[in-house]
Structure 1
Amino acid sequence: MIEICYQDEYLVAVNKPAGWLVHRSWLDRREKIVVMQTVRDMLGQHVFTVHRLDRPTSGVLLLALSSEVAHTLSGQFEQHQVSKTYHGVARGYLDGDGTIDYALTPELDKIADKFAQPDKAPQPAVSHYRALARVEMPVAIGRYPTSRYTLIELSPETGRKHQLRRHMSHLHHPLIGDSTHGDLRQNRGFARMFECPRLMLHASSLMLNHPVTGKPLKINAGWDQTWQNLMVRFGWSGILPDFERVEFPTASRQDMASSTLNP
């Protein structure tokens, strides 16, 4: 089963678990559990994809229930009429907010994109970020005796492949768990010390106009247990947006570290 965040007669949104493929792919022919087939079986009807989430990313995934609605929604995504909010955990300390305007060369897959033009020019890519909280943990991963992390809110203005992951790497604050653009040593240490063996990137919400009624629609997806456990351990549980607020267990003093909440 998969959590349904929103459903009406025209569309359905689910909270995609980290590690799930959206649909069957020749990149991993052995994978049997994918989002599209799972949702189709739950609803008893065909569903249509309108955007994508990388396999390691969790969060809101919107699906249409007809080809006509799929066409309309796809157009909204292509014309950047959908507002997307992500949360992530980055290596190191970040302050305040900012905009990353850094063009990205298309990333090509050796199999899926073997017929694509290999020398495409960099494409414009813009992302906005806001630091929400910071923490320094008494854990040595790398050359320093402590490890620092920042909880960030991310909003992509464009939709390039791996855009948020690549932009955070460009800032020298890669997302934890990013095996392609991140810090391998930090990823391994973080997974071992904090029981968190996944990419710390979650698509928290989508805002758009309903493709049929035209009314504003906001769809939220809560964080999974791995995220919730980490929020407790890092002392960040109080900063969850209201729609994601859950009851957290009380963390012990040993699990807590001094954290700084940005105003």
Structure 2
Amino acid sequence: MFEILYQDDALIAINKPSGWLVHRSWLDKHETTVVMQTLRDQIGQHVFPIHRLDRPTSGVLLFALSSETARLMSQQFATKQIEKTYHAIVRGYVEGEAIIDYPLVEELDKIADKFSTPNKPAQDAITFYRGISKIEVPIKVGKFDTARFSFVELKPQTGRKHQLRRHMKHIFHPILGDSKHGDLHQNRAFTAYFGIKRLMLHASSLNIIHPLTLCPITIKADLDDNWQSILNNFELI
């Protein structure tokens, strides 16, 4: 059973666990247990996707309960009326706040995007980030005797594929548990010390305008016990 964060006659939002595909995909054609079908069975009605979260990302995931509502909400996402807030644990110490303004070339998957046009020009991509807390742990990584990690807030201003993961890599603070854009040695050190192996990226909140009432709504997803057990060891920056 998914944790339902918000539900009315038009919308439903859940706290998506890490490891779940939103819908059936060529990325894993053998996976039959996906969020859309499971949520449909849980509430007894069809749901319509509005946006997506990568499989390893947890947090707020919003669906419409009709195709018309999905269309209206998709317009909000397309016109950047939606505000998203994520939290992540990254390599190294991140202090203060800043904006990453670094265009990204579309990242195509060999299977899922095999019919997409390659070699497109880079697209604008902007991310706000803020350091919250940090930790240094006594585990050797490469030539260093300790490993340093930071807990950060991320607010994407654009919606490019894997934007947060790629932007944090760009500033040399890759997200822990990121097998594609992260640091393998740091990932192993993090897993060895905390005993948790997953992408440490969570969609914490989503600010929207309700498509029918036109009232602003904030939907929040709490960090799970694994996150909390790790963050209890961090010190505020």
Note whether the superposition's TM-score is higher than 0.5. yes
Superposed displacement of residue 127, structure 1: 0.3
Q: Are 1:223 and 2:223 matched, yes or no?
A: yes
CA RMSD across the alignment: 0.9
Percent identity among equivalent residues? 57
Unpaired segments ≥5 residues, structure 1: 236-258
Q: Are 1:129 and 2:154 matched, yes or no?
A: no
Contact 2:88 2:151 in 1 (8 A): yes
Alignment partners' CA distance in 2, 1:115 and 1:28: 17
Alignment partners' CA distance in 1, 2:129 and 2:109: 27
Partner of 1:247: none
Q: Which has the higher contact order (CA 8 A, sep 6+)?
A: 2
Partner of 1:207: 207
Superposed displacement of residue 194, structure 1: 0.8
Unpaired segments ≥5 residues, structure 2: none
Alignment partners' CA distance in 2, 1:44 and 1:165: 35
Number of aligned residue pairs: 237
What secondary structure, in the 3-state scheme, does the structure 2 residue paired with 1:202 have?
strand
TM-score by length of 1: 0.88
Alignment partners' CA distance in 1, 2:219 and 2:10: 14
Q: Are 1:97 and 2:111 matched, yes or no?
A: no
Superposed displacement of residue 32, structure 1: 2.4
Alignment partners' CA distance in 2, 1:58 and 1:17: 5
Post-superposition Cα deviations, 1:97-130, rounded to whole Å, max 9, x if no partner, equal 0000000000001111112111100000000000
What secondary structure, in the 3-state scheme, does the structure 2 residue paired with 1:167 have?
helix
Superposed displacement of residue 26, structure 1: 2.2
Alignment partners' CA distance in 1, 2:173 and 2:118: 28
Alignment partners' CA distance in 1, 2:106 and 2:226: 31
What secondary structure, in the 3-state scheme, does the structure 2 residue paired with 1:99 have?
strand
What secondary structure, in the 3-state scheme, does the structure 1 residue paired with 2:19 have?
coil
Partner of 2:192: 192
1:124 partner amino acid:
D
Q: What pairs with 1:1-263 in structure 2 (closer than 5 Å)?
A: 1-232=1-232, 234-235=233-234, 259=235, 261-262=236-237
Alignment partners' CA distance in 1, 2:168 and 2:8: 36
Post-superposition Cα deviations, 1:69-117, rounded to whole Å, max 9, x if no partner, equal 0000011011110000000001001110000000000000111111211
Contact 2:57 2:199 in 1 (8 A): yes
Superposed displacement of residue 139, structure 1: 1.6
Tell which deviates more after alignment, 120-129 or 131-140: 131-140
Superposed displacement of residue 25, structure 1: 1.2
Contact 2:6 2:13 in 1 (8 A): yes
Partner of 1:238: none
TM-score by length of 2: 0.98
Which of structure 1's runs of 4+ aligned residues deviate more than 4 A? none
Contact 2:141 2:186 in 1 (8 A): yes
Alignment partners' CA distance in 2, 1:122 and 1:77: 20
What secondary structure, in the 3-state scheme, does the structure 1 residue paired with 2:205 have?
strand
